[in-house]
Structure 1
């Protein structure tokens, strides 16, 4: 593990420059550039506020704001967006960069770090954009937002751990990437993002207890809408799972990396 971390440190400039290149490439030939990070959620939130909030807003407890549902939904989708982007990109990163792996010698773990760093940068800009959108609703950031880095850290660990494992499996069996798309769709709808946990039928309540993303998403929703800190007890299991997967993925990656290029 120490040798792996040292090799990553030696290639830190390569990782940072690659993340910058990915970010610039995302807005290449776009006149508005990164402004789209604000315009897209603003347009989305307007639709939610005008259409969905009027219908669903009354179902959110202890909130009088008419834009409550839009805020709740944007908070949840922000958390899920970071998770799904890291998962999807880590699952295909070794296949997408197969030619680079064969031609250039560098620590293979740099690739998931690059795509993960790019996803994290996009997420941070999105949070800034969401904060701007909330100002139009008269909803201002509060001290509870300071807990968001905890949610980000848990999502990154969980998504990295699971994504790297699936990425390695996807090299040897390309069906993994196809199955993941279906699983993520089901997982999204079994996570309280579009609905609240209270509205879920009781016979499905056990699903939330088994869903590690539910309490993590709730960190965002509680802080950004209600201005509340999370239930720390509910985060123990997701944190241990995320940290365990994160460390286990590094161990598996170190053992499988020798055969990675040959399988590609």
Structure 2
């Protein structure tokens, strides 16, 4: 499967470019939508939580700490949710193409991954520019972001392929994923710091593989801290396991995908 992906690398790259162009075709703002969506969410959360509910972040003297914290966490979550959501439905959406054209089916989630990753890099660049208006310049710890990007995209890619294959045979999977992602978002310390979670619910955060991965972004962009290797061991193992199982499942189910579609 990896060899076939390499042989079709030009097809994958061309598809990624075409998808990015098509996403903003006839859009006057174009790539600015990569930034406007998370900025709108951040503005809403900031007004409601930091102004109305008087929420504050501990252990920091940065004036715009809460918006920076939100933007950092939302950037990480956006990458994860986009890859997972689109991979879950990609085989059904491209059913007509799969039936008519002979090509490695695994190219489809790879194209989704490449498109999401390209958009994410643009989003990070835009966020760093916005931080200048807050008077905040991240330190060298920003170099930890590629590690977070790798682990988050690997986890989302593995889970996305697994759910995408299952969704072909059981169409309820797509609806379930949408609900689970909403719950998963609120179980991840993005809108709130992990320190305020009550002890009786702390286990949910500890078992959440996305919590330490989102923390990479928050530590790097706001607090200037490098990630702790021990906290990333479990998420890395989960991501590796998800990718491995995804390849095994896809290889076994691939011959039946066309018939099921």
Q: TM-score range by the shorter chain?
A: over 0.9
Match among 62, 65, 89 for residue 65 of structure 1: 62
- Structure-2 residue corresponding to 1:157: 154
Residue 35 (structure 1) shift: 3.0
**Which sits farther off after the overlay, 27-36 or 47-56?**
47-56
Please give the alpha-carbon distance, in whole angstroms, between the structure 2 residues aligned to 1:55 and 1:261: 53
Query: Structure 2: which 5+ residue stretches go unaligned?
Result: none
Please give the alpha-carbon distance, in whole angstroms, between the structure 1 residues aligned to 2:88 and 2:196: 33
1:246 maps onto 2:249 in alignment: no
Paired residues of 2:210 and 2:235 also in contact (CA < 8 A): yes
1:185 maps onto 2:182 in alignment: yes
Measured on the aligned residues, the alpha-carbon RMSD in Å equals 1.6
Please give the alpha-carbon distance, in whole angstroms, between the structure 1 residues aligned to 2:228 and 2:51: 29
1:96 maps onto 2:93 in alignment: yes
Residue by residue, what CA displacement relative to the aligned partner does 1:15-42 show, whole Å, maximum 9, x if unpaired?
0010011100111001232233344445
Residue by residue, what CA displacement relative to the aligned partner does 1:193-237 show, whole Å, maximum 9, x if unpaired?
011111111100011111111011100111011010112111101
Structure 1 pair 259/43, CA: closer, same or farther in 2 (3 Å)? Answer: closer
Q: TM-score, normalised by structure 1?
A: 0.94
Residue by residue, what CA displacement relative to the aligned partner does 1:113-132 show, whole Å, maximum 9, x if unpaired?
01111111111111011111
Paired residues of 2:209 and 2:234 also in contact (CA < 8 A): yes
Query: Structure 1: which 5+ residue stretches go unaligned?
Result: none
Q: TM-score, normalised by structure 2?
A: 0.95
Residue 45 (structure 1) shift: 4.7
Count of equivalent residues? 261
Residue 62 (structure 1) shift: 2.1
Residue by residue, what CA displacement relative to the aligned partner does 1:80-101 show, whole Å, maximum 9, x if unpaired?
1111111100100000000000
1:223 maps onto 2:223 in alignment: no
